[in-house]
Amino acid sequence: MTEPVTINPRIIDALYSEALVLSDEVRAAFMLSGRIENAGREEDLARIALSCEALRTTTRMMHAIAWLLNHRAYFMGELSEFQLRRHGRLSPDAAGGEPERLALLDPEIRVLIGATERFYARLMRLDNGWRDHDAQAPSAIAALRERIRAASR
């Protein structure tokens, strides 16, 4: 089992701990943030914004935790590198919040959403670096073709 150059178990464990703390903060913030005190149409827009951003933010964190759990399983030998590469990919389209909706939310919630976006971006950079590093190496098929070509000479 070859280990990726840019990711190691200590990094994954530290990120996993950070993800759990951040996810707990997200859960607590959106659970307690149902107290919107605006009146009329603005209240409805704020509730919609809160619901949308809560769903978007919790989904982002669940994708991050799933990615980290896949890497933990790989380092513990429970997943092969092939399985990790095939099923352990982060979604590149974890959209950020919509500025119009974010403006309707409390500043503390906006800060927390930004923290989850930055955390996810860090994981994306790690994932892309890990995948790009081995993309430069010849694929298994290319290596097999080269061995066949060498054997036929």
Is 35 in a helix, a strand, or coil? coil
Is 71 in a helix, a strand, or coil? helix
**pLDDT score of 147:** 83
**pLDDT score of 92:** 82
pLDDT class of 93 with cuts at 50, 70, 90: confident
Would you give the distance in Å from CA 58 to the centre of its chain? 11
Per residue in 97-145, pLDDT (tens digit) is 778 888 888 899 999 999 999 999 999 999 988 887 655 556 667 777 8
**pLDDT score of 107:** 92
**Mind giving me the DSSP string for 99-129?**
HHHHTTS-HHHHHHHHHHHHHHHHHHHHHHH
pTM above 0.85, yes or no: no
Comparison of pLDDT for 68 and 104, the residue scoring more: 68
Residue in this structure with the two tokens 């590149």, named with its chain if needed: 92
**pLDDT score of 46:** 83
Asked whether the predicted pLDDT for residue 1 surpasses 80, the reply is: no
Distance CA 90, CA 140 (A): 23
**pLDDT score of 134:** 59
DSSP 79: S
Would you give the distance in Å from CA 139 to the centre of its chain? 26
Per residue in 18-61, pLDDT (tens digit) is 999 999 999 999 886 555 454 456 678 888 888 889 999 999 99
